[in-house]
Structure 1
Amino acid sequence: MITRHFIDVSSGGNKRRVHYRKAGKGPPLLMVHQSPRSSKEYEALMEKWAAHFTCIAPDTAGFGQSDPLPGQPEIAEYADATIDFLDALGIEKCAAYGFHSGGIILVTAVKRHPTRITTLAVGGYAIWSAEEMALFSDRYLPEFHPSDYGEHLTWLWNRILEQSWFFPWFATDDTHRLSVANDDPARVDAIVREMLDAGNAYQAGYGAVLRAPRDIPAVGADVPPCLISAYNGDPLQEHIDRLGDMPSGWAAQKVTTPEEHQAVSLSHLLATETVTIDTSSDASDEGFVEIRTDAFNGLIHWRGDRSADQLSLHAPAYAVIGNPPAGQMAIDLPGHGLSDNWTDEAPVSWVPWQDVINAVADALGTGTTVYPSLPEGEPEKLYPDLSPDRFGNYLTMAWQIVRARHMFAPWYQVDAAHAVTFDAQQLKPEHLASEHLALINASAAKEFHIALQSKQKEN
């Protein structure tokens, strides 16, 4: 099972929160993701490699659920931040794997901290030419901020979609066509959600790796072994020929498929020495608790004071945002926020929901449960299908919903009789962006509404 954690990492007098995933047994393997992704992209690979390693995959600073680095960090700061994360976990040294941006960060980390990594496998290492860097310019990483009417969502969908058609994504000509074009809504949606998590912070981390110089250690450097590989269709495969001279124990090869890249990487990593993992200290005011009931088997995200007596529940289609009031602990219910979804279909009867709530209360030591008020309206209309579609329409539909529900109750009854007073600050794009992400993540909102409605009727 993949578990999820938060840990506070200190460096240079600053403290930041890092979210990470963990799975498996054996020597630790640090896994650093590409930009603008998060550790979620490694879930399938962690399940495969968990038989050999304790896989540990953090969200790089500013991505996923991790806090950004202060100031205007460059590649050295991201490399050092990775080592700071190992320090917080109590890991003296370990093997490491990184894909694209993750590999660039780790190569720099090896160069700066050679005793902390025992062996390294990299999926594609970028060596950009002056012409390519000029092409990237400021166009590759424009600022990304929410807009009043959701225009940013249309741009985002098409930017991520066409990244599989052209590289760079904006160079829409035959010269820059890729051989791996797709129009898979699920693949695009996964990256879109991670961009929404990162927001404009994506510029810092992504920009640092794009600007990073060739940072491969000198030929005679005393550094751990490394294998760099890239498969057909990967835009960095041709960069294998640009790597130049490398230290002893470093090698590079072109492979055919992503599966072959993973296979040669694993073979290389298995040569690592076994290292003991010390006990780490997770954050005291946020985390995940594993819950098992008849209908749910997964992780529930919680936030707040562990000594709190009250357990606060959000309304359907919402999630934990910010710190709960003093004396309360808040959770994301199944199929909402950062919590896992139901094992099978989300139930519409109240008992399975109450079973989860009771199990969470027992695990966290809370007493009284604070139940939410139900929004006005019919569940079938309040929570329309927001499954990813080929054109990304679900994103703009969800934006219009979160905007309208501040002005009308229910949101789909747009007339004078259903107008409600509201605070204009609630319509600021930054505020709507949090609600929008909570809504598209709420896969069990309708079922929670129906279940809670039945509970209230019984009472």
Structure 2
Amino acid sequence: MNTITRHIVTIPETGRQVHYRRCGRGPVLLMVHQSPRSSAEYEALMQQWSAHFTCIAPDTPGFGQSDPLPQVGRRDPEIGDFADALGEFLDALGVGPCPAYGFHSGGIILVTALKRQPHRFRCLAIGGYAIWTEEEMRIFGERYLPEFHPSDYGEHLTWLWNRMLEQSWVFPWFDTREEARLSVAHADVARANQAVMEMLDAGNDYRAGYGAVLRAPRDIPTASADVPPCLITAYDGDPLQAHIDRLGAMPAGWNAKKVATPADHQAESLAFLLENGADGPLSNLAEDDTEGWLEVDGQLIHWKGTRGGDALVLHGPAGEMDEPHEDTLAIDVPGHGQSSEFDDIEAAVRIAAEELGASRILWPTPPEGNPERLYPDMAPDRFGQHLQRAWAIARAEAFFSPWYEANAANAIPLDQQALDPAALHAGALARIRSGSAARRWHDALLLINGASE
């Protein structure tokens, strides 16, 4: 199985950073995710299609680990801005004309990019293309994109869990009429949690990218347009399947069809991409040299800084890396932040230090307290209780040390910055990401610090 690697590339003209996933060999296949998700949703598909293509999946602006687009004057960016940002990304990578795949809003961005710059694409395969009616647009405009900001007591997390879980039950997610029910309803905790985590990465920036897609003109190239070929498919249960009948006349080489299952959609898409785009050239893809992911035994360690720096700076358990200072390096400790889990955290850290050329490692001191109580279970559950648990711990950490000792003897000076919802959000998100690795990192540090005394 091919390893999915992760990279950062900076757009030269603006300094905007784009995070992307890469997997496979052969001609480049561009994969654009739906909103409000990230390229992480394509990991399973990238593994499958990497036998035929070098699959490249960027986080679109404001989602995942990519910087958002700036406002244009006083307005939010529109769909053309996101389409042009895709072109900037391809130029920064050094990728010429290529095939591309997009699902739902990813397809809207791709079709817009094709209309504006058709020379960039060999073909498109699209999963569901939305052609909204005026009434549907009115409904979406009223409720579909609420502001999403951290709240003092984590109420936003309760809303988020249920919004992401129930979006497979009814569509739109807030429409609880029987007529809005979907046939693809599930209560898959892993699927819901992945969508929640991606939304937490985006924060309120999700409204710009998602809003641009919803406001996008509801059209495809005219029947007489000279554009690369495109296949649009939608499976049973996809709320956009009915929109296949709304597409109207299409250009030569374009086709739209209804299929039975998601597997059918993927198989039809792959066959079309192979037929029309598999003869493209190989590309040497660009990436930044001050941030990236080290590949160690098929796992990834996220790092920042200047290779060969004086010291590798490590964060504590249930934390994430700080921005490195001059002549230092920093990583997300394995199992934390954007780094994969490793069985032996200390060994992985030492390998990272050697690979990055750090002359020494600055090991942190673990926090005071009973590890059994410092790191409660953060595994996702059916009701999203892990989110509220993390938020409650983040608040308690601003009042007491250790956080679980809520009494006068363990009170610490109150700092209003630590109780700012944005700071609580960062602390809770770091704890959720670390999961069981936080306790293992704590135990490793006890041994490391004990050995150095």
TM bin (shorter chain): over 0.9
Residue 262 of structure 1 aligns with which residue? Answer: 266
Q: Work out which of the residue numbers 120, 124, 129 in structure 1 matches 2:128.
A: 124
Residue 418 of structure 2 aligns with which residue? Answer: 426
* SS of equivalent to 2:418: helix
Letter in 2 for 1:3: T
Residue 164 of structure 1 aligns with which residue? Answer: 168
Q: Work out which of the residue numbers 340, 355, 361 in structure 2 matches 1:363.
A: 355
Residue 94 of structure 1 aligns with which residue? Answer: 98
Letter in 2 for 1:151: E
Q: Work out which of the residue numbers 396, 399, 409 in structure 1 matches 2:388.
A: 396
C-alpha contact 1:22 1:55 (8 A) present in aligned 2: yes
* SS of equivalent to 1:5: strand
The alpha carbon displacement at 1:431 in A equals: 1.2
Letter in 2 for 1:333: V
Residue 276 of structure 1 aligns with which residue? Answer: 281
1:150-179 superposed Cα distances (whole Å, 9 cap, x missing partner): 111011111111111111111111011111
CA distance in 2, matches of 1:328, 1:138: 48
- Deviation above 6 Å: which 4+ runs of structure 1? none
Residues matched between the structures, number: 444
The alpha carbon displacement at 1:355 in A equals: 1.9
CA distance in 2, matches of 1:336, 1:233: 36
The alpha carbon displacement at 1:89 in A equals: 0.6
CA distance in 2, matches of 1:21, 1:27: 15
Q: Work out which of the residue numbers 170, 192, 198 in structure 1 matches 2:196.
A: 192
CA distance in 1, matches of 2:378, 2:306: 33
CA distance in 2, matches of 1:278, 1:47: 19
C-alpha contact 1:230 1:255 (8 A) present in aligned 2: yes
The alpha carbon displacement at 1:75 in A equals: 0.7
Residue 291 of structure 2 aligns with which residue? Answer: 286
* SS of equivalent to 2:16: strand
Residue 54 of structure 1 aligns with which residue? Answer: 54
C-alpha contact 1:5 1:21 (8 A) present in aligned 2: yes
C-alpha contact 2:52 2:278 (8 A) present in aligned 1: no
Q: Work out which of the residue numbers 173, 177, 182 in structure 2 matches 1:178.
A: 182
CA distance in 2, matches of 1:183, 1:102: 24
* SS of equivalent to 1:270: helix
C-alpha contact 2:183 2:237 (8 A) present in aligned 1: yes
C-alpha contact 1:144 1:200 (8 A) present in aligned 2: yes
Letter in 1 for 2:366: L
* SS of equivalent to 1:287: strand
Letter in 1 for 2:399: M
Show the 5 A alignment for 1:17-166.
Answer: 17-71=17-71, 72-166=76-170
The alpha carbon displacement at 1:138 in A equals: 3.0
CA distance in 1, matches of 2:279, 2:356: 34
Letter in 2 for 1:284: D
Matched, 1:408 2:400: yes
Unaligned runs of 5+ in 1: 347-351
C-alpha contact 1:63 1:202 (8 A) present in aligned 2: yes
CA distance in 1, matches of 2:321, 2:241: 42
Unaligned runs of 5+ in 2: none
Residue 449 of structure 2 aligns with which residue? Answer: 456
CA distance in 1, matches of 2:305, 2:415: 26
CA distance in 1, matches of 2:395, 2:291: 29
CA distance in 1, matches of 2:232, 2:56: 20
C-alpha contact 1:108 1:215 (8 A) present in aligned 2: no
- Pair 1:353–1:387, CA change in 2 (3 A): closer
Letter in 2 for 1:9: I
1:261-289 superposed Cα distances (whole Å, 9 cap, x missing partner): 00000000002152224433312321111
C-alpha contact 1:90 1:277 (8 A) present in aligned 2: no
Higher deviation after alignment, 356-365 or 268-277: 268-277
Letter in 2 for 1:268: F
Instruction: Report the RMSD for the aligned CA atoms in angstroms.
Output: 1.2
Show the 5 A alignment for 1:255-334.
Answer: 255-271=259-275, 272-292=277-297, 297-321=298-322, 323-334=323-334
CA distance in 2, matches of 1:277, 1:312: 37
1:22-57 superposed Cα distances (whole Å, 9 cap, x missing partner): 011111000000000000000000000000000000
C-alpha contact 1:311 1:369 (8 A) present in aligned 2: yes
